[in-house]
Amino acid sequence: MNENSHESIAFITGASAGIGLELTRKLLSEGWQVVALNRSDFPADDGNLRSAVKKGSLRPYKIDDLADYASLRGALEEIKRSERRIDILFNNAGGSFSELSYSKQGRERHYELLTVVPYIILAELKELLKSGRFKTVINTSSSAFKFTKEFSIDILERPQTFRKLLGPYATSKLALSLWTQAIAPQLAQDGILIRSVDPGGNNTLRKGKPSGLPFLVEIFMKLFFSPPSHGANKLYEGALGEHRHKTGVFLLKGQVTELKFNDQAMNVLERIQAIYADEFLQRHALHS
């Protein structure tokens, strides 16, 4: 590992495509080191990324499935063994699915991947963050939840209906922003700041990959949405821009924005903390 103590270090999930890839490129171009946790490889035709891997300024870790706790645990253990600190943690991996499906742990897949897993990653890498300089966590959220009409833990974990984008995807992103708000005072005791950020409309469609988006949204995205570098800039600004000293806030179009259902924030956090303690930690301890 080539770690210059003067260089800043970012940890990014979902760094090999879309917004995460553009954020990786931006940070590397500014002299950052990037620790990446990905399911897929970086583009083979990008010489700059290949060079960064060779130099050690880009350190990729592979994972089969972020929403599978055994796979996630193995990847995080490897990162904790190999890395010394993290300055900014970008919980960015995500995506929308085209039908109702469940994780290996039995919860709706959007909720597991977009809401629960970012908490587990934060909890497991907290000591590395405490050793960092910026001590900042950025959770990639979405304004899709402005259309959410009802919200509860039961709906999150086992929804009765499914709608592309505006169903489990939107409620899971809302839950992510809600626990971000609720956990901020706890993290502040360790000097850690946390924010959730809407990266705006980005064309993140990939050839040969189902998008999980309604057909008309796909068409609109192809024609009118910005390239993923737009979203990368929003996350970068969310981390290092004018609101860098605030914690617990949701940033939409660069502005602090109030969340819907914020009376549910602590309920979401407590449920996710229980999942982490009972399933990620305790079951592993029983089997090890």
Give me the pLDDT at residue 274, please: 98
Whether 134 and 90 have beta carbons less than 8 Å apart is answered as no
Which pLDDT does position 213 carry in this prediction? 63
Return phi, psi of residue 174, to 5°: -60, -45
Backbone angles phi, psi at 160, to 5 degrees: -85, -25
Give the pLDDT of residue 113: 97
Q: Is the dihedral of CA 29, 30, 35, 38 positive or negative?
A: negative
Q: Report whether 256 contacts 243 (CB < 8 A).
A: yes
Q: Report the alpha-carbon distance of residue 243 to residue 234 in Å, rounded.
A: 12
Give the pLDDT of residue 1.
42
Strand pairing report for 250-252 and 193-197: parallel
Is residue 216 within 8 A of residue 99, CB to CB? The reply is no
In this predicted structure, what is the pLDDT of residue 200?
83
Q: Looking at residue 204, what is its pLDDT? A: 58
- Neighbouring CB atoms inside 10 A of 149's CB total 7
pLDDT tens, per residue, the chain with 288 residues = 444 556 899 999 999 999 999 999 999 999 999 999 999 999 999 999 999 999 999 999 999 999 999 999 999 999 999 999 999 999 999 888 889 999 999 999 999 999 999 999 999 999 999 999 999 999 999 998 998 999 999 999 999 899 888 899 999 999 999 999 999 999 999 999 999 999 987 555 556 666 566 666 666 556 656 678 989 999 999 999 999 999 999 999 999 999 999 999 999 999 999 999 999 998 766 655
Q: Do the beta carbons of residue 179 and residue 269 sit within 8 Å?
A: yes
Radius of gyration of the chain (CA): 18
Predicted pLDDT at 227: 74
Tokens of 117: 């897993």
Paired tokens of 177: 């922003």
Domains, the chain: 9-282 (3.40.50.720)
- And the tokens for 94? 């995500």
